[in-house]
């Protein structure tokens, strides 16, 4: 028992030391203890909890037991990670009579690949009672036998181990015999029947005894064997071997018939009582009888079958010598045969958990397969070196003892190589060495790693206002470098809003062709430019997409007539202006102001006197709208001059508006009643209210300028390209100023008494900064570009 305990402690220390040395290479190692004879489905332990795994991903990651000798005895639940018994476990069947019974399992998970090692110690329970090979043992003992004579009995066998094995023997009460037990190790206790009182054949010719074997369980179990002792005369000496233990070494694969050793025994008797026959004991295992035989007369032990070190490295044979006396006597000895290994087995390469095909975007270090090498030989004959036959973007990494990971060590490109043939060569260190090659086929699969690409990040579309519904404003195209479904592109609008309306209510895009179709007619005066995004999405999993910005510019149409501004804006009214009879040439009569909601040339207004025709008394500035006298008054002129002023835009066709003014000639300037011609001069000092008004006006002007600068900067970014400032002179003396995306018509006149500036917003110019001029059709007229540093004279 002490020796068994020490052996158990040594094994535990060895396992502990190995665990510490391999700590960096084993992802996790767990040890459980389990009693044998558990019901099927009994839980061993919660692997997910003990390994710190997320139970929601176990099934997705292929949580399972892989390639071990004990994988059929256990099963794992991929839903909760419970390791449970898959069938009835008999410790004696799994580990025979080993003092320590440990089953090692390898647990694998994928994506990413993880290997965990689980050791399960099978604990023995007292589930077997001791049994004897025979129900009845017959002994023939000469009456001349002396007290102390020993008779070996067949030991009872108990498949259980440790304290649950046979611990003691008891003999039924009698006067002549007692039982003695000799401990021969390995949980085997050999009973001997000891004669303690001389036999008297005349008193009793036969003794019937009962031998009981008890194990150490609680409660103990027992088995019995009947012993019948027949008392005989004479042959009272048994054969005795020259050695109690014979030991020999033998190379594996020796030829059949080779003599291993010769055993020899002597018998002190004479005649037939001294003639010896050699044999193996009756309970010799069948595998030994198939491999060895003994010559009955000479005691030569010979090879009968194939000796293979990998199947069994040592044999223990019980040999008996029996004399030919009337009542035979036998002596026993033990023969130990140690088999020496030779390099007769090439290494074996096993590939598990092969990841094929491998996605082309797999990262460096991705485990492609697990490679296990083994060699049943021992020593250097069983030491295996592993390497790859040729260069490739893969490498072998040692993970645990004879386990290796085939990992990615480079970049995969499916377009260059679609399949790899990887040759793994395993070679032992024997003399001569033996090797074996294993070819692993790895397919490379395409992944959706390329998003659709547009030729340009921004697309410009021009849509005339009031255009028909269903007009195609632009077509977007994208390409994808992937193949098959990964390259199938569909187009869609990204959700956004334009002036409070969702973009899907304004436009629709053909999902296959990329044609963008308008679903609403736009008014340039309401909105001039806006943008939205079109998304191109492939059919890969997961899908990839990219966007293109569509900048839509609404082109102005001449759909708005000029509007007359106050004080002459009242519809249907006739306005009156007074001038003195003594007015000089160029006398200011009135100023007509008008605006046009359109832009560009559609908003460039001109003023004309339509009635009376051929009027030679008054003239009007074509661009300024100022009415002045052309000459001095004469007595022949009328006192009242009705004028009809026509305001026309420059669109095609041109639209116009009219205003009527009656000019009344008065005798003297004192009779004039025009309020703005002689403004009263206030002599009162500058009041606080005026100061506040001045500050407010300055603040509003600064805010306006900052807003204007910000707007110009935003427009500059959205367009991406601009032209130099452009100034165009007109025949009537006015200037048109154009810069960036907006054109303004600025009209000046040297005759203006007041500093009046009229600014007309123009339509969006083309990218090359040419002004749009409608001369019976859509044409572009290039205008003069002035340097920025040149000042314009007021």
Q: Which residues contact 176 (CB under 8 A, 6 or more apart)?
A: 195, 196, 197, 199, 207
Each domain of the chain, given as residue ranges in start order, spans 2-123, 136-232, 243-340, 348-445, 458-544, 563-671
Question: What is the rounded distance in angstroms from the CA atom of residue 33 to the CA atom of residue 459?
Answer: 71
* Beta-strand relationship, 29-35 and 114-123: parallel
- Low-confidence winner among 68-82, 425-439, 496-510, 780-794 (lowest mean pLDDT): 780-794
Question: What is the rounded distance in angstroms from the CA atom of residue 663 to the CA atom of residue 477?
Answer: 65
Give the homologous superfamily in CATH for domain 458-544: Cadherins (2.60.40.60)
CA distances from 319 to 58, 187, 273, 335 (A): 57, 21, 19, 7
Q: Which residues contact 460 (CB under 8 A, 6 or more apart)?
A: 551, 553, 767
Question: What is the rounded distance in angstroms from the CA atom of residue 76 to the CA atom of residue 57?
Answer: 14
Res. 260 pLDDT band, cuts 50 70 90: very high
- Asked if the domains at 136-232 and 563-671 fall in one CATH topology, the answer is yes
Which residue shows structure tokens 């403004």? 679
Which residue shows structure tokens 């909105």? 527
Q: Which long-range contacts (CB under 8 A, 24 or more apart) does 224-228 make?
A: 224/132, 225/132, 225/134, 225/135, 225/136, 225/137, 225/153, 225/154, 225/156, 226/135, 226/136, 226/137, 227/136, 227/137, 227/138, 227/139, 227/153, 227/193, 228/136, 228/137, 228/138, 228/139
Q: Which long-range contacts (CB under 8 A, 24 or more apart) does 292-295 make?
A: 292/260, 292/317, 292/337, 294/263, 294/319
Question: What is the rounded distance in angstroms from the CA atom of residue 306 to the CA atom of residue 254?
Answer: 8
Tens-digit pLDDT profile for residues 268-295: 877 888 899 999 999 999 999 999 999 9
Is residue 168 helix, strand or coil? strand
Which residue shows structure tokens 């409070």? 500
pLDDT above 70: residue 6: no
pLDDT above 90: residue 241: yes
**What pLDDT shows up at residue 106?**
87
DSSP-assigned letter for residue 702: H
Torsion of CA 85, 87, 91, 92, to 10 degrees: -170
CA neighbor of 523 nearest in space, from 547, 490, 551, 559: 559
Candidates 3.40.50.11540, 2.60.40.60, 3.40.190.10, 3.40.718.10; CATH matching 2-123: 2.60.40.60
Cβ atoms of 152 and 190 within 8 Å: the answer is yes
Is the model more confident about 397 or about 668? Answer: 397
pTM for this entry: 0.39
Q: Which residues contact 98 (CB under 8 A, 6 or more apart)?
A: 161
Res. 734 pLDDT band, cuts 50 70 90: very low
pLDDT above 80: residue 769: no
Tens-digit pLDDT profile for residues 565-588: 888 876 667 788 899 988 889 999
CA neighbor of 502 nearest in space, from 533, 463, 459, 538: 533
Is the model more confident about 310 or about 629? Answer: 629
For residue 122, how many C-alpha atoms fall within 13 Å in the half-sphere facing its CB?
Answer: 26
**Tokens at residue 722, please?**
């601009």
Cβ atoms of 102 and 119 within 8 Å: the answer is yes
CA neighbor of 265 nearest in space, from 294, 293, 286: 294
Torsion of CA 29, 33, 36, 42, to 10 degrees: -80
Question: What is the rounded distance in angstroms from the CA atom of residue 470 to the CA atom of residue 449?
Answer: 36
Res. 476 pLDDT band, cuts 50 70 90: very high
Is residue 631 helix, strand or coil? coil
Is the model more confident about 779 or about 195? Answer: 195
Could you give the percent of the chain with pLDDT greater than 90? 24
Q: Which long-range contacts (CB under 8 A, 24 or more apart) does 268-275 make?
A: 268/237, 269/235, 269/236, 269/237, 269/323, 269/325, 272/323, 272/324, 272/325, 272/326, 273/234, 273/235, 273/237, 273/323, 273/324, 273/325, 273/326, 273/329, 274/323, 275/323, 275/324
Strand order in the sheet with 177-183: 150-152, 189-195, 177-183
Res. 735 pLDDT band, cuts 50 70 90: very low
Res. 543 pLDDT band, cuts 50 70 90: very high
Question: What is the rounded distance in angstroms from the CA atom of residue 506 to the CA atom of residue 522?
Answer: 9
Question: What is the rounded distance in angstroms from the CA atom of residue 167 to the CA atom of residue 186?
Answer: 12
DSSP 578-601: EEETT--TT-EEEE--EE-SS-GG
To the question of domain 136-232 being in CATH 2.60.40.60, the answer is yes
Query: What does the pLDDT average to over 219-246?
Result: 87
Res. 262 pLDDT band, cuts 50 70 90: very high
CATH architecture of 243-340: Sandwich (2.60)
Domain 563-671 has what CATH class?
A: mainly beta
Domain 348-445 has what CATH class?
A: mainly beta
Which residue shows structure tokens 């027992």? 222
pLDDT above 50: residue 794: no
pLDDT above 80: residue 132: yes
Strands (E), 36-76: 43-46, 64-65, 74-76
Farthest CA pair distance, the chain: 194
Question: What is the rounded distance in angstroms from the CA atom of residue 773 to the CA atom of residue 602?
Answer: 9
């Amino acid at each position: 028992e002490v020796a068994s305990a020490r052996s158990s402690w040594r094994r535990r220390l060895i396992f502990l030391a190995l665990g510490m040395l391999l700590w960096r290479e084993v992802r996790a190692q767990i040890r459980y203890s389990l009693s044998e004879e558990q019901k099927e489905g009994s839980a061993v332990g919660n692997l997910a909890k003990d390994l710190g795994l997320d139970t929601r991903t176990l099934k997705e990651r292929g949580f399972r037991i892989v390639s071990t000798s004990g994988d059929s005895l256990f099963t794992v639940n991929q839903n909760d990670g419970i390791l449970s018994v898959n069938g009835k476990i008999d410790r004696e069947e799994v580990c025979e009579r080993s003092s320590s019974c440990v089953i090692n399992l390898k647990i694998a998970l994928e994506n990413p690949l993880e290997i965990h090692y689980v050791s399960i110690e099978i604990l023995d329970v007292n589930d077997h009672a001791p049994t004897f090979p025979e129900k009845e043992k017959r002994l023939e003992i000469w009456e001349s036998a002396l007290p102390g004579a020993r008779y070996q009995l067949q030991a009872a066998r108990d498949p259980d181990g440790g304290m649950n094995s046979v611990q003691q023997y008891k003999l039924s009460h009698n006067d002549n015999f007692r039982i003695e037990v000799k401990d021969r190790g390995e949980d085997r206790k050999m009973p001997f029947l000891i004669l303690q009182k001389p036999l008297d054949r005349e008193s009793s010719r036969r003794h019937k005894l009962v031998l009981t074997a008890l194990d150490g369980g609680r409660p103990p179990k027992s088995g019995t064997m009947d012993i019948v002792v027949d008392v005989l005369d004479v042959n009272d000496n048994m054969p005795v071997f020259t050695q109690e233990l014979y030991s020999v070494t033998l190379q594996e694969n020796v030829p059949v018939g080779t003599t291993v050793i010769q055993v020899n025994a002597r018998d002190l008797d004479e005649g037939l009582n001294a003639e010896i026959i050699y044999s193996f004991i009756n309970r010799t295992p069948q595998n030994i009888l198939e491999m060895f035989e003994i010559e009955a007369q000479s005691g030569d032990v010979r090879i009968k079958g194939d000796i293979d070190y990998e199947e069994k490295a040592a044999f223990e044979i019980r040999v008996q010598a029996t004399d030919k006396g009337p009542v035979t006597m036998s002596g026993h000895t033990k023969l130990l045969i140690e088999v020496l290994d030779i390099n007769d087995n090439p290494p074996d390469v096993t590939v598990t958990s092969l990841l094929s095909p491998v996605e082309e975007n797999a990262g460096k270090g991705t485990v492609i397969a697990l490679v296990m090498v083994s060699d049943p030989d021992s020593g250097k004959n069983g030491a295996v070196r592993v390497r790859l036959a040729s260069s490739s973007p893969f490498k072998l990494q040692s993970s645990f003892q004879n386990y290796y990971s085939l990992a990615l060590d480079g970049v995969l490109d499916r377009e260059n190589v679609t399949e790899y043939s990887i040759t793994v060569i395993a070679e032992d260190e024997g003399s001569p060495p033996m090797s074996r090659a294993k070819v692993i086929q790895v397919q490379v699969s395409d992944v959706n790693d390329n998003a659709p690409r547009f030729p340009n990040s921004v697309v410009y579309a021009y849509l005339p206002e009031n255009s028909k519904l269903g007009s195609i404003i632009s077509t977007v195209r994208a390409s994808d470098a992937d193949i098959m479904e990964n390259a199938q592109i569909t187009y869609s609008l990204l959700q956004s809003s334009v002036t409070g309306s969702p973009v899907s209510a304004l436009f629709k895009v053909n999902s296959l062709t990329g044609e963008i179709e308008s679903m609403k007619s736009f008014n340039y005066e309401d909105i001039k430019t806006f943008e939205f995004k079109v998304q191109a999405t492939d059919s890969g999993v997961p899908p990839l997409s990219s966007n293109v910005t569509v900048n839509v510019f609404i082109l102005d149409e001449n759909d708005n007539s000029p509007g007359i501004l106050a004080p002459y804006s009242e519809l249907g009214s006739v306005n009156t202006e007074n001038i003195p009879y003594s007015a000089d040439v160029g006398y200011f009569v009135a100023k007509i102001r008008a605006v046009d909601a359109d832009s560009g040339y559609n908003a460039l207004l001109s003023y004309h006197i339509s009635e009376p025709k051929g009027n030679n008394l008054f003239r009007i500035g074509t661009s300024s709208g100022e009415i002045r006298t052309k000459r001095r008054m004469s007595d022949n002129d009328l006192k009242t001059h009705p004028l009809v002023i026509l305001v026309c835009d420059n669109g095609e066709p041109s639209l116009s508006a009219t205003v009527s003014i009656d000019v009344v000639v008065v005798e003297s300037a004192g009779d004039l009643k025009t309020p703005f011609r002689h403004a009263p001069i206030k002599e009162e000092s500058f009041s606080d209210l005026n100061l506040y008004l001045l500050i407010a006006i300055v603040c509003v002007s600064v805010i306006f300028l900052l807003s204007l600068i910000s707007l110009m900067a935003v427009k500059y970014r959205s367009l991406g390209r601009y032209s130099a400032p452009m100034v165009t002179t007109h025949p009537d003396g006015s200037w048109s100023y154009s810069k960036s995306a907006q054109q303004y018509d600025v009209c000046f006149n040297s005759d203006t008494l007041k500093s009046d500036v009229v600014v007309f917003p123009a339509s969006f110019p083309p990218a090359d900064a040419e002004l749009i001029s409608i001369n019976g059709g859509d044409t572009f007229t290039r205008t003069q570009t002035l340097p920025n540093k040149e000042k314009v004279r007021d």
